Every structure is written in C-alpha cells, then in structure tokens.
Amino acid sequence: MNITEADVQAALKQLTDPNTKKDFVSGKSVKNIKISGSDVSLDIQLGYPARSVWGEIRAMVENHLRSSLPGVGKVAANVTSKVIPHAVQRGVKLVDGVKNIIAVASGKGGVGKSTTAVNIALALAAEGAHVGMLDADIYGPSQPTMLGISGQPESVDGKLMEPMQGHGLQAMSIGFLIPDTDTPMVWRGPMVTQALDQLLRQTRWDGLDYLVVDLPPGTGDIQLSLAQKVPVTGAVIVTTPQDIALMDARKGLKMFEKVDIKILGIVENMSTHICSKCGHEEHIFGAGGGEKMCQDYGVELLGSLPLDIHIREQADSGNPSVTANPDGAVANAYRQIARRLAVKIADMAQDHSAVFPKIVVQNT
C-alpha cells in the first residue's frame, strides 16, 4: 500500500495538540509533508513558543503516524514555532519591530502585577520567543530593579534609543532615564501619557514576538489614555483573592472592554500561603475569588500563584523566579500561564495591515 499525503493528513486529524486542544490539521500546524517510498517526513509549526515541549510533541506525532499508517517506514517530524502578528484595537498605530503587545494590569497596587509581568516575559523568552519588557509605570518604575539592569540607554542615530538588555529580554523604562531612583516623578496625566508614548515608539525594538507592558496600577484617566494609545493584542488582569482587590480588578476588566481590548485572562496572585516552617497551607486572602470573577465575566483563569517569600526575594534581587529557579514549581506555574497566553493569542484574528498596499493619491 502506497502512503499518500492525504493519508498523513487524515492520521494527524486524529491527533490533538495538548496545548491548543485542536487537532494539528485544523490548527494549521502541518507543513511540508514529504513521502519517499514508505518514509514520511513533515514539519509541525506551532503558532506559539513552546521550546520546552518540542521534543514531546515530536515524539507524539511520530509515534502516532507509526501506529496509524500501515507499512510506514521511517517517520521524522521537525517541530518549530512561529509567532505572527495579531489584530489590535482599531485606529491605534502599530509599533515598529513588535508583533504582539501584552498589557499586564491591575485594578490596584500591591497585588504583584510587576512581578507577574516580568516572570511572564521571562517564561515566554525561555520558550524560545523574542520578548521585550516595557515598564509603563512612570510613577513607580520597578523593572530595572527586577531585571537587574543599571545604566542608561544609548542612541546610535540620535533619534531612537537602543533597548537595555537583561536576562535575554529587551527592556525600556523611565527608570533608565532618571539619574536618581529616589527622584519622584511629579507629573500630570498628559506628561505621563506622552512619556510612555515616547518610551514605546522611540525605542528600537528588534524583532519582538511579544512586548509585555507593565501598566501602572489603577483605572483612572492615565490608564484609560494608555490603553487607547498602545496597540494591545490582549490584556492580563492580576489580582489577589481579596474582596477589595477583586472589586478593583473588575474595574480594570471593564476599562479594557471599553476600549475594545481583548481580555486574555486573569492571574490570581497570592492565592495561598504555605508556611516555610510547618508546610501548612492557608488561604489568608480568601479562596476562589479569581475563579468566581472569571465565571462572572466569561474569561479564563490563567493560573494561580502562591504567596511565597522566594518570589519576592528573587524579584528584588534582580533575578526573578523563572531565571533564579527554572526547574522549581513557581517557575513552572509562570511557564504554564505564559504558554496559555501565547496559545490564546495564536488563536486570535491575524493582523493583515502589512499585506495591504499603500494607496497614494496625487494630482497629475
């Protein structure tokens, strides 16, 4: 029996990608099927970064084809990832060098938004993506400290700033531009939004799959203006299970809905505390609040993170959990959240603005 490309396609329609929950054919991951005699080779191109599971997916595909295709010889699957740009809110100018922007926000301060943002960025980078971090918290920039970056950005052409580098991330923050970290930014709203726009658009971002934007806490005029000016692919809301935090997180969610930005999901931080002495687990901020909020608004709970002293210590020391202890349970939780985010973005509508020709009207 001769094996055909249709046979291979039919077999892979019966195999589900464990991350997207779609079969590989309908997920448009199957590329370059080649048949030589009884031997089969093909590419599996994932729409999300997943370097840590490439080997697992390759083995799954090869084993499935061996068991599904009678008389098949050698089977070779090459697994890669390719991230493409996706649609943003209408009327907002895109950013050069950036495919997708993920906004990380919170309704109030003190819920671990910045720590969550930097660890999500590092987790995406660990999975093979090109990632940047924009610290949009003008009043309280924390990413320079969390990424362990010092110094000031340089400009090669006198127009654009070169992003700073830390743990494999491209980074930009107002914290790099002020000489003294103790200097308060006593600015009114319009100055803040202008500063962010300059940080975003006057940085020479280099081929980013994702730019993670650490937004200021709150839902006031500044946050609304930023959400209207930044071309956001999707937003993540960070909260704790505490009732007052959830109340403010709901306001944050409504703010993004108002400016037509898709909510990718909610991260519940400080969900449980495990005593370092006895191992007792306790819900000191309440339980189930994030899950209840997700049910109320039809969004996904991307993951829950513990109240852990090591998360705080590692971020404060400039070596966040994903890089400080990449094999630990906390780093694994961040990676699962990041992969779920990437899968959700990959499933969104593509951005086709680059394929349309520019129309020039001139008098003849």
What ranges in the chain are assigned the alpha helix state H?
5-12, 54-68, 113-126, 143-146, 189-201, 221-229, 243-258, 289-297, 309-316, 321-324, 329-346
- Count of residues making up the chain: 364
Mean pLDDT of 165-179: 89
Tokens of 330: 């906390």
Mean per-residue pLDDT of the chain: 85
Instruction: Give pLDDT, residue 126.
Output: 95
Instruction: Give pLDDT, residue 186.
Output: 60
Phi, psi torsion values for 106, nearest 5 degrees:
-145, 150
| Res 174 pLDDT > 90 | no
pLDDT digit string (tens) for 45-93? 999 999 999 999 999 999 999 999 998 999 999 999 999 999 888 888 8
| Res 356 pLDDT > 50 | no
Give the residue with greater pLDDT, 300 vs 284. 300
Give the span between the Cα atoms of 132 and 153, in whole angstroms.
14
Domain ranges of the chain: 5-81, 98-346
Provide the sign of the torsion angle of the four alpha carbons 243, 248, 253, 258, taken in this order.
Answer: positive
Give the residue with greater pLDDT, 231 vs 107. 231
Q: For the domain bounded by 98-346, which CATH number is listed? A: 3.40.50.300
Class of domain 5-81: alpha beta
What three-state secondary structure class fits 45? strand
- Sheet containing strand 234-239, strands side by side: 164-166, 169-173, 131-135, 208-214, 98-105, 234-239, 263-268, 301-304
pLDDT digit string (tens) for 117-151? 999 999 999 999 999 999 988 777 889 999 999 88
